[in-house]
Amino acid sequence: MSELSVRAWRDAAGEMSTGEGAEKLSARDARRPLETARTRLLVAGAIFALCFVILGGRLVQLSLLGDGPHMAQTTQHQGDLLTLQRADIVDRNGALLATNLPWQSLYVDPTLVLDADEAADKIAGVLPGLTRDEIFEKARAKGSFRWIRRNLTPEQYYAVNRLGLPGFGFKREERRVYPHGSLFVHTLGFAGVDNSGLAGLEAARDQDLKQLAQSHGGALVTSLDSRVQHIVNAELAAAIAEFDAKGGAGIVLDVESGEILALSSLPDFSPYDLESSLPDHRFNRATLGVYELGSTFKAFTTAMALEYGVVDLNDRYDATKPLKVSRFVIRDDHPQNRWLDIPEIFIHSSNIGAAQMARDVGAKRQKEFLGRLGMLSALPLELIENGRPLSPRHWREINTMTIGYGHGIAVTPLHLINGFATLVNGGIQRPPTLLRKRGEAIGTRVIARETSDAMRALMRMVVEEGTGRKAEAEGYLVGGKTGTAEKAVAGGYKKNALITTFVGAFPMDAPRYAVLVMLDEPHGTKATHGYAGAGWNAAPVVGRIVSQIAPMLGVMAILPADEDEEETERLLVRADGEGRQFASF
Amino acid sequence: MIRPALILWIGLPAIVTIALLLVSYQVQRLENELERLERAAMAQQEEIHVLNAEWSYLNRPERLARLAARHLELTPVSPAQMSSFAYEPIFQGFEK
């Protein structure tokens, strides 16, 4: 402290002491500043106390009571779930049909490579198919990124990783994988490298699959059954080989729900190797191709005539000679040369009879009936490959008559089997679907139950005693209709180029599944005595398919031949109390 | 008289500070552990996903049929082998 300030302090002190003596303060005046100070202290203390109470309260709230946003965050935290870019597709039993798998792709950053020579040698040693020079070039290239190979297998990934080479890295990518290979390629389609659907269900339900992928574990459940699909595919392939056909289609459809259990179009292709596949192999014969399917349409004609009350089952038509209509002549393939009643027309597949039946119904009603069956427009199936039927623009009488036996109208095989499902399921038309449906499927009634019952009986007769005998699968009451049509080409029909079809359902006492087999240009063999009709090649395939899929689908066989015998046997078993031996034991 | 209070007010913050330090280290340790577990869980999920695909691949009906034909003495089920309790007279009436 300087001398000056010390003096000033002394002066001030002296003044105060002299002032105290001069001015006498009253006791009350002297207490006032003290009280003011105390009040201020109290207020300040209260404010501090309040603050600490708030802080303390907050502390208790956060630590003991445990609410607030952080607590919620903590309890909600459950770790990340695997999210892929595209949802799985599964069959009706949950078997995986398509999935996205993570793949590692190997790249090189040339700026970080220490010894390109050594690296190229080592990588070429573990990645077959890549030459040493290729890798060397890439490792020495300018820039900082070159793909070495996309989509390594896990073993290759491990092997390259083990080399521990600087400058080489992996990038995680996703790739669509179809565990069943080409089995479902015509229904599922395929997805491209950028994980967008390019064909089939993958393309038609592209957005759904991408959205489903966001909800963890979500999968698109289809109505398909991989076991049934395999059987249909295998039997169709065997038939195509046996009869030297160009291709074929096979469909199994649930007649009550419209669900497609199997849909096969052969030849097919690998979903991984599109470049080398032929356009013909990529063509979906079952849903995109439209064909004149011939005599199978007589089922629609018969149902239509019965439904409109134009005929009843006992009515007869003259089939003694070919029918002349203006400049056309309608002939029978299996001529009976007599008057035929309705069941006979159906069983012997008489063009003459069916044409007359259609004529009696009339063009207007025929067009309306086929329209209600869905035969005149594309089906709303979940594919991008949906064929539009071809039908005459001017529906004249001659068109009516030829359409009566399946010529002059071209539909996809899926149209045909869906129409048959309507005929046998009691008369309800339902759109076919590739997706698993829960609950009752909605539909519209096209024919009365009585008409449907009559059609079931007629179809069963075709297999029992008509053109479709080879479609019989013992015990499963198969019924259906054959169709053999010459292929339509520009300006007429191609001789010896046939489309043969068998379409039917089983079991005919209470139909559950409809089955269709179509062969494209089959040829006669020694075993068929040179015949190439549907009854010789398509029908037996249906029989073989039914006898294999029926036990899988839980359809019980009824063995009519030894029914009486079995009945007595059962009664005897009951009498002596012994358990009947099950054949499967 | 002022001594015990002073000791209390210096000692309390010191204890609280040390406790806070310990808790925060523990939280950090647990967070690292959580992150490690999450990474492991993700890897497991991915592995399960790949194994599912492989399972489906190995269960191709075509492959199963081939293997069954080679290794098992089974033939396709014939209609006579299939039945249901409902169809067997001895069991009729039991369902109601």
pLDDT, position A74: 62
pLDDT, position B87: 63
* Long-range pairs for A241-246: beta carbons < 8 A, 24 or more residues apart: A242/A525, A242/A537, A243/A519, A243/A522, A243/A523, A243/A524, A243/A525, A243/A528, A243/A532, A243/A537, A244/A522, A244/A523, A244/A525, A245/A519, A245/A520, A245/A521, A245/A522, A245/A523, A245/A537, A246/A520, A246/A521
Position A61 confidence tier, pLDDT thresholds 50, 70, 90? confident
Q: What is the mean pLDDT of residues A352-372?
A: 93
- The CA distance from B89 to the nearest CA of chain A, in Å, is 7
What is the number of other CB atoms lying within 10 angstroms of the CB of residue A82?
16
For chain B, the first-to-last Cα distance in angstroms comes to 92
C-alpha to C-alpha distances, A37 to A41, A44, A548, nearest whole angstrom: 6, 10, 104
pLDDT, position A105: 85
Position A73 confidence tier, pLDDT thresholds 50, 70, 90? low
- pLDDT of residue A572 exceeding 90, the answer is no
- The CA distance from B62 to the nearest CA of chain A, in Å, is 7
**Contact: A226, B61; criterion CB under 8 Å:** yes
pLDDT, position A582: 31
- Tell me, yes or no, if A196 is annotated catalytic: no
Spatial CA neighbour of A82 closest among B59, B31, B53, B57: B53
At A211-229, the pLDDT tens digits run 888 877 788 999 999 999 9
What angle in degrees, to the nearest 10, is found between the helix axes of A351-361 and A298-307? 40
Q: What is the mean pLDDT of residues A283-295?
A: 91
Nearest-Å Rg of the Cα atoms of chain B is: 35
Position B94 confidence tier, pLDDT thresholds 50, 70, 90? low
Cβ-based contacts of B60 with chain A (< 8 Å)? 179-181, 183, 226, 230
Among A255-269, A458-472, A483-497, the minimum mean pLDDT is found in A483-497
pLDDT, position A563: 47
For chain A, the first-to-last Cα distance in angstroms comes to 118
- The structural domains of chain B, with segments of one domain joined by +, span 23-53
Distance CA A58, CA A227 (A): 64
What single letter denotes the amino acid at residue A82? L
**Mean pLDDT rounded to a whole number for chain A:** 84
**Contact: A551, B77; criterion CB under 8 Å:** yes
Nearest CA in chain A to B31: A74
In chain B, positions 29-88, which contact chain A (CB-CB < 8 Å)? 37-38, 41-42, 45-46, 49-50, 52-57, 59-62, 65, 76-84, 87-88
The two tokens of residue A422 are 């309507």
- The full set of domains in chain A, from first to last, is 88-184 (3.90.1310.10), 232-552 (3.40.710.10)
pLDDT, position A368: 93
pLDDT, position A451: 92
What is the number of other CB atoms lying within 10 angstroms of the CB of residue A368?
13
pLDDT, position A560: 56
**Contact: A101, B49; criterion CB under 8 Å:** yes
To test the contact with chain A by mutation, choose from B51, B56, B83, B87 the residue with the greatest count of A C-beta atoms within 10 A, namely: B56
At A171-209, the pLDDT tens digits run 888 888 999 989 999 999 998 877 888 899 999 999 989
Q: What DSSP string runs through A195-261? A: S-EEEHHHHHTHHHHHHHHHSTT-EEEBS--HHHHHHHHHHHHHHHHHTT-SEEEEEEEETTT-BEE
- Total-model pTM: 0.79
User: Parallel, antiparallel, or unpaired for β A88-90 and A96-108?
Assistant: antiparallel
Q: What is the mean pLDDT of residues A511-517?
A: 95
Tell me which of A514 and A62 has the higher pLDDT: A514
Position A314 confidence tier, pLDDT thresholds 50, 70, 90? confident
